[in-house]
Amino acid sequence: MMADISLYGLPGIPDVQPGDDLPALILEALARAGLTLRDGDVLVVTQKIVSKAEGAAVRLADVTPSPQAVELAQRTGKDARLVEVMLRGSRGVIRQRGGVLILETRHGWICANAGVDRSNVGSATGEIALPLPLDPDASARRLRDALRAVSGADFAVIISDTYGRAWRKGTVNMAIGVAGMLPLADERGRPDMFGYHLRVTVVARADELAAAAGLVSGQADQRLPVVLIRGASYPRGEGRAVEMQRPPEQDLFR
């Protein structure tokens, strides 16, 4: 375990458009920062630029809401077109109360608005909605493969998104896609500093790294959607972020 880590926000990445070459944009940003990828690095990439590059953005003017979307919109005070976009990317509604709508996404993530966002998506009026990527783990793998082909380095990629927590105020960045790492670090069986062997400790390492990158990438106009983390310890392997999802039979709060 390293005693310290370094985080570098990669500057100059433009407003990403559908079809843009994200690996090329990241390599250019690394060069501007005077950095190259090294073995053991972690690249944390915000979901927004991945969804934008993959053409996921939806113009609300083009959306016709379903009867279910209209009903939920009336209950929650939300735009029925926006609710329709949420439903299209969801397995179902978990909770709705007042202005809050919690859904389970097609990937199995449980989050407000199915992860659909309207900030930093190219519209000051909120008329463009941006869903999550279709398969964030696959997106992370494609990005890593393309960057490895150029750099030759063995590193990890995390696709991050901002989430609220059921029992705490405020949002934090979490991992919704990974490549080149195992998202969970299993500490069970390791002795603590007094020799007691840990019994249940499994650490969401991918979430820890995503949250650390959020200190640099920010949520508003920072324009740093990609953060390089150097010096972090993480379990190597070919894992998927969905491995962090708690199975329904173990979910005591749903």
Tell me, what CATH number does 62's domain have?
A: 3.90.1660.10
Is 33 among the domain residues?
yes
Q: Can you tell me the mean pLDDT for 20-42?
A: 97
Is 90 among the domain residues?
yes
pLDDT higher at 194 or 225: 225
**In terms of domains, do 44 and 146 share one?**
yes
- According to the model, what pLDDT value does residue 125 have? 62
Q: How many domains does the chain have?
A: 2
Is 214 among the domain residues?
yes
Is 193 among the domain residues?
yes
- According to the model, what pLDDT value does residue 52 have? 94
**In terms of domains, do 119 and 144 share one?**
no
Is 249 among the domain residues?
no
Q: Can you tell me the mean pLDDT for 32-43?
A: 96
- According to the model, what pLDDT value does residue 248 have? 85
Q: What percent of the chain has pLDDT over 90?
A: 76
Q: Which of 129, 156, 186 is the last residue of a domain?
A: 129
**In terms of domains, do 208 and 229 share one?**
yes
- According to the model, what pLDDT value does residue 123 have? 59
- According to the model, what pLDDT value does residue 99 have? 86
Is 1 among the domain residues?
no
pTM of the full structure: 0.92
Q: What pLDDT, in 10s, does the model give residues 88-126? A: 999 999 999 888 899 999 999 999 999 998 876 765 566
**In terms of domains, do 150 and 234 share one?**
yes
- According to the model, what pLDDT value does residue 213 have? 96
Mean pLDDT of the chain: 91
Q: Can you tell me the mean pLDDT for 60-66?
A: 95
- According to the model, what pLDDT value does residue 185 have? 83
Is 49 among the domain residues?
yes
**In terms of domains, do 102 and 28 share one?**
no
**In terms of domains, do 19 and 76 share one?**
no
Q: Which of 110, 129, 148 is the last residue of a domain?
A: 129
- Residue 133 DSSP class: P
**In terms of domains, do 70 and 50 share one?**
no
Host domain of residue 148: 6-56+133-244
**In terms of domains, do 42 and 140 share one?**
yes
Report the distance separating Cα 92 and Cα 76, nearest Å.
16
**In terms of domains, do 91 and 143 share one?**
no
**In terms of domains, do 93 and 142 share one?**
no
Task: Answer whether residue 68 shows pLDDT above 90.
Answer: yes
Assign residue 139 the CATH number of its domain.
Answer: 3.30.1330.100
**In terms of domains, do 52 and 67 share one?**
no
Q: Which of 101, 129, 157 is the last residue of a domain?
A: 129
**In terms of domains, do 64 and 119 share one?**
yes
Is 45 among the domain residues?
yes
